[in-house]
Amino acid sequence: MFKLQENGTTAKREIVAGITTFFTMVYIVVVNPMILQSAGVPFDQVFTATIIATIAGTLWMGLLANYPIAIAPGMGLNVYFTVSVVGAHENISYMTAFSAVFVAGLLFIILSLTPFREKLIEAIPNNLKQGITAGIGLFIAFIGLRMTGLIADHPDNLVQLGDLHSPQALLALLGLAVTIVLMVLKVNGALFIGMVVTGAVAYFTGHLSFDNGLLSFPSLPEGLTVSNPITAFSDVLEHGLYAVVFSFLLVTIFDTTGTMIAVAQQAGLMKGEKMPRARQALLADSVATSVGSVFGTSPTSAYIESSTGVAAGGRTGLTAVVIAVLFALAAFFGPVVSAVSGLSAITAPALIIVGCLMMESVAKIDWKNLDEAFPAFLIILSMPLTSSISTGIALGFISYPLLKMVQGKFRQVHPLVYLFAVLFFYQLMFLPH
């Protein structure tokens, strides 16, 4: 079913890859409820909805698309939901906002059933694809460094070297050293082993504890947040949430598409300019977004943390199935998951190392031609500086056709690139992002 031999992998390697990805992204089951709680959504509601959406999207990705890519509520989209949708409008409750998410999810599904999103992957110029991969790599490495305090805020220069004497930083440096040594020695599962070693040291030094016990039962105190599709559409029409739906659509399409391309390229799964089984892969986040809105969470996206599993050897959908199973178990081990994911020093070294591995794409950019190089450079530079994958992609899509037009090479640009250049320009200028 998963074609393990054809993809040059084994069941053991896929299981280790799934465990690795799970531990690098499981923070979402704590962080997402904390963010949406600010919009008034009960913590337990979002905790359970986050897991349901993740399982739905990731199982679809594994069983139907056969990719080692996880789907979960997207960071950034949850902040936009809380601050720009619910927080900025007194007359819009979180229930109404979930209606907008549901409508956007249905539109995602419709677009994914058409050749549109597949053609989009094929239309993206190769240098932009390489820039997206490298930019995301730099972005997640930067996240890993900031999570552990190895990099701290600076009043004038934005960032500076953090306190290397803090327990968090010391644990992160230990995990980074152990993991990179194991990888240099080509030890299978080095990323996961590094996390286990760091976690063990943290536990025995008193920095990791399980004070709230081990087990808790998932619940949905609000029931279904979207129970009637007709009501959802009427909510969008009544409150004029067209821009909100459009923003959810635009950001999710490009966050997910960019992430899928990056992970598929890293795993060596791209066939030239095409991504096999792209339609099923793209349907995964569309379905997950719709399912998630029904139970009470913001839109989903493909998770770039999937690249940690790919680095650990994951090549097929078995990795995704393992991730989904672990998230199902996590629903009953909320206190344990909360404790482990709350100590970023355990997972951050994996993000830093994977960021390094993804920077390999920089070598594949055509640096000799500025009309190809500069848009890729903008993507790489802006993703970590704006903390937004979609903003980086937007700047690349806007600058690429402009430079081609200046040179009289406008026919070399796919019509879809022109279309999204206009849409991205409109989003950056007139919509929240």
One-letter amino acid of 116? F
Evaluate if residue 233 carries a pLDDT over 90: yes
Let me know the angle formed at the C-alpha of 333 by 331 and 335, rounded to the nearest 5 degrees.
120
Structure confidence at residue 288 (pLDDT): 96
The sign of the torsion formed by the CA atoms of 105, 109, 110, 116 equals: positive
Q: What is the pLDDT of residues 346-359, one digit of tens each?
A: 878 888 988 898 89
Evaluate if residue 312 carries a pLDDT over 80: yes
Kind plus residue range of the DSSP H or E element containing 251: helix 242-267
> Can you tell me the mean pLDDT for 292-317?
92
Q: Of the given ranges (116-120, 211-215, 236-240, 414-418), which has the lowest mean pLDDT?
A: 116-120
Structure confidence at residue 241 (pLDDT): 85
- Measured between alpha carbons, how far is residue 375 from residues 187, 236, 304, 418, 423 in Å? 37, 36, 21, 14, 17
Kind plus residue range of the DSSP H or E element containing 139: helix 126-147
Q: Are the C-beta atoms of residues 314 and 13 closer than 8 Å to each other?
A: yes
Q: Are strands 71-73 and 300-302 parallel, antiparallel or unpaired?
A: antiparallel
Q: Are the C-beta atoms of residues 57 and 300 closer than 8 Å to each other?
A: yes
**pTM of the entire predicted model:** 0.75
Bridge partners (DSSP) of residue 302 are 71
Per-chain mean pLDDT for the chain: 88
Structure confidence at residue 12 (pLDDT): 94
Q: For the stretch 75-111, what's the b/e string if a residue is b when 16 or more beta carbons lie within 10 angstroms of its beta carbon?
A: bbbbbbbbebbbbeeeebbbbbbbbbbbbbbbbbbeb
Structure confidence at residue 172 (pLDDT): 95
Q: What's the pLDDT band for 177 if we cut at 50, 70, 90?
A: very high
What whole-number distance in Å separates Cα of residue 134 and Cα of residue 137?
5
Q: For residue 133, what are the contacts with CB-CB under 8 A and spacing of at least 6?
A: 261, 262, 265, 266, 358, 361
Evaluate if residue 433 carries a pLDDT over 60: no
Structure confidence at residue 306 (pLDDT): 92
> Can you tell me the mean pLDDT for 223-245?
89
What whole-number distance in Å separates Cα of residue 121 and Cα of residue 390?
15
Q: What is the pLDDT of residues 125-158, one digit of tens each?
A: 889 988 988 888 898 888 889 888 999 988 888 8
- Count the Cβ atoms, other than its own, within 10 Å of residue 13: 21
Q: For residue 18, what are the contacts with CB-CB under 8 A and spacing of at least 6?
A: 68, 309, 314, 318, 319, 320, 321, 322, 323, 325, 326
